[in-house]
Amino acid sequence: RLESKVAIVTGGGGGLGEGISLCFAREGADVVVSDVEMPGLRGTELALRRYNLFPVATGTYIRGTLDIDEGLERIMAAMQKRW
């Protein structure tokens, strides 16, 4: 249902964020995963590869309004390299 769609999931390195990332992948979306916890982020990235996806994983910490622009710039730069 989500083929040709891109999902951006912040906090995707574990818990609900990881579950949401995997749900999007099962439905056919390409997934961009962001989290501050790199070990968890890498675990989610490996789990997504089971769906033959090669996700974009970025270690981005978005803490509030001042960090949002910088965080989004990092996510968008990673996406541009991938697509």
Q: 41 by DSSP, 3-state: which?
A: helix
CA 47 to the chain's CA centroid: 12
pLDDT tens across 16-75, in order?
Answer: 999 999 999 899 888 888 887 778 888 888 888 887 666 666 665 545 555 666 777 777
Q: What would the two tokens of residue 77 be? A: 């730069």
**Given this model, what pLDDT does residue 45 score?**
84
Which residues face 57 on adjacent strands?
Answer: 33
Average pLDDT value for residue range 8-13: 85
